[in-house]
Amino acid sequence: MDFNLFMNDVVDAARKDIREAGYEELKTPEEVDAALPRKGTTLVMINSVCGCAGGVARPAAANAIHYDKRPDHLVTVFAGQDREATEQARTYFEGYPPSSPSFAFLKDGKIVTMLERHDIEGFTAMDVLTKLQHIFDEHCEEF
């Protein structure tokens, strides 16, 4: 099998997983600048093709939102794939180094907190889901 075709399949599956979970995919810097400054709370899932993204971060992202409290907006950028969009998103994460996969939580366009790769890798999807829901408890309204 051609490696590039295999990687395209992996990327396509990763994109599909997070879109089907209800996240808006941001592929350009302009889409990032339109989405991240919105009023309210925004969860940004920084997607990637690594194993901890597929085995932990995306399942946590998909399941964390089935909760009494959740962000107003759910968006995603894909590190390593949509590089310009990812770099633009990272300009909103002041004080945090680049990390993927990761989750950024913003309120009215300002970074509140992040779950970085070291908060994801080596943990279960349930652990990360719980971490996300703690953030939601602290900063989100009930739906």
What amino acid positions are annotated as catalytic residues? 50, 52
Cβ atoms < 10 Å from Cβ of 104: 24
CA distance 97 to 7: 26
Place of tokens 């709370």: 41
Using CB atoms within 10 A of its CB, is residue 73 exposed (0-12), middle (13-18) or buried (19+)? Answer: middle
Task: Confirm if 67 and 133 have CB atoms less than 8 A apart.
Answer: yes
